[in-house]
Amino acid sequence: MAFRQLIRSGTGSPGLTQSGALSTLERITVLVVIVGVIAVDLFGIIFSYGPSLPQSLLSIATTIVFALYLWSPWVATAALGIVFALSFVAGTQSAAIFAAAVAVGLVVRLGRMSLILSYAGAFLVATAIVGYSNPDAPVNVGIYLIIATVAGAIGFALRLALDKGRRLEQELAERAEHEREAVLAERRWIAGELHDSIAHHLTVVALHVQMLDDPERSRDSQDAIRVAARTAMTDLRFVIELADDGPRSSAVHSGDLATAIDEAQGEIEAAGHAVVSEGDARDERIHRAGEIILARIMRESATNILKHAGPGDVSIRLDVDDEALTLEIRSPLPATPRRDLPSSRTGVNRMAERVLGASGEFTAGAVDGQWRVSASLPIN
């Protein structure tokens, strides 16, 4: 099962169809072993207690070949074949085939499937040649095959462990990215909620502050400011509770469309506009998701009307049938743009995102001297 999984691996993990790479610890281990073996051969040459000089030099060359596996398995394998051929001249076939058996571990650990199969075939042929040329072949061939099997199993185990480690790192990186995106989405949501609620009430406050000097409207403006401030604090507490995943207060804005239209109508009329409202906001065909979206659009539209509308009447029309529910809001365009009220310039985009995200249709723009906002949501 693990072998088939490693062969099929193709999602960023090495697999047997792709070349691998030694980890830092593996590289250090291989280099330490190579240096140790070369040191032993050099001591043998210096103190003349080992084999002959040609045999010692060929042994050192064989050991150096293992270092090539840190660079290119194919080049190292080709060099090992050359060393094996030279071993027949120096009479060190047994040492060469032993080195080839040990190298099976590195080939399995680093090579592609093509290299592994090629090496396995060449190793069996080389073992047969050594066995045929050696009278102790039955014993030696078995030892070589056992060494090659153990080395290959170790190489495969290391490769499989590294493959799992890399997949785990990739999964952890993907999970961290998902968590980061979730945090950013939550921040955008909090910012949107603050914009849709707090910005509206701040607009109401800013508008009525300008009316405090009017003796006839001062008292109404004070009441409007008081209500807007209280409602803003309630909505702010609601957003904070949601961000903290705490209990939700029952007194917060619930997305009731009828309430949103009534509040918007009262605020717009307090600003000096006559409001004509048509449609039943309590129609049973209005689904909850559509009610929440249209309530938000009604509030944002009221904010924009308070900021930008010129003198004249405002119309609010809600049409509900068996296929769609449509909210249309019209307000007179100003003769000159107002610059004395705060504006984040994100309201229209927020409304469009809400409607389009629910597979609806949204338009906003100037039509016949009026600013028209239209949002249509499917019933089903």
Nearest to 275 by CA among 316, 303, 237, 236: 316
**pLDDT on residue 303:** 84
The crossing angle, in degrees rounded to 10, of helices 93-110 and 113-133 is 170
Give this prediction's pTM. 0.46
For residue 33 the two structure tokens come to: 């072993």
Query: Is the sign of the CA dihedral 60, 66, 67, 73 positive or negative?
Result: positive
CB-based contact 138:89 (threshold 8 Å): no
Burial of 28 (0-12, 13-18, 19+ CB in 10 A): exposed
Q: What separation in angstroms does the CA of 374 have from each of 16, 192, 242, 380? A: 59, 20, 29, 19
10-residue stretch averages of pLDDT, the chain, 380 residues long: 48 52 78 81 70 75 83 85 82 81 87 86 84 61 86 88 84 86 75 70 74 72 75 69 52 67 88 90 86 88 86 93 92 73 66 87 91 90
Token pair 């003769």 is at which residue? 335
Note the pLDDT of residue 314.
94
Print the SS3 string covering 124-178: HHHHHHHHHHCCCHHHHHHHHHHHHHHHHHHHHHHHHHHHHHHHHHHHHHHHHHH
How far is Cα 246 from Cα 252, in angstroms, rounded to an integer?
Answer: 14
Least Cα distance to 66 among 33, 20, 28 occurs for 33
CB 6 within 8 A of CB 159: yes
Residue 138 pLDDT: 52
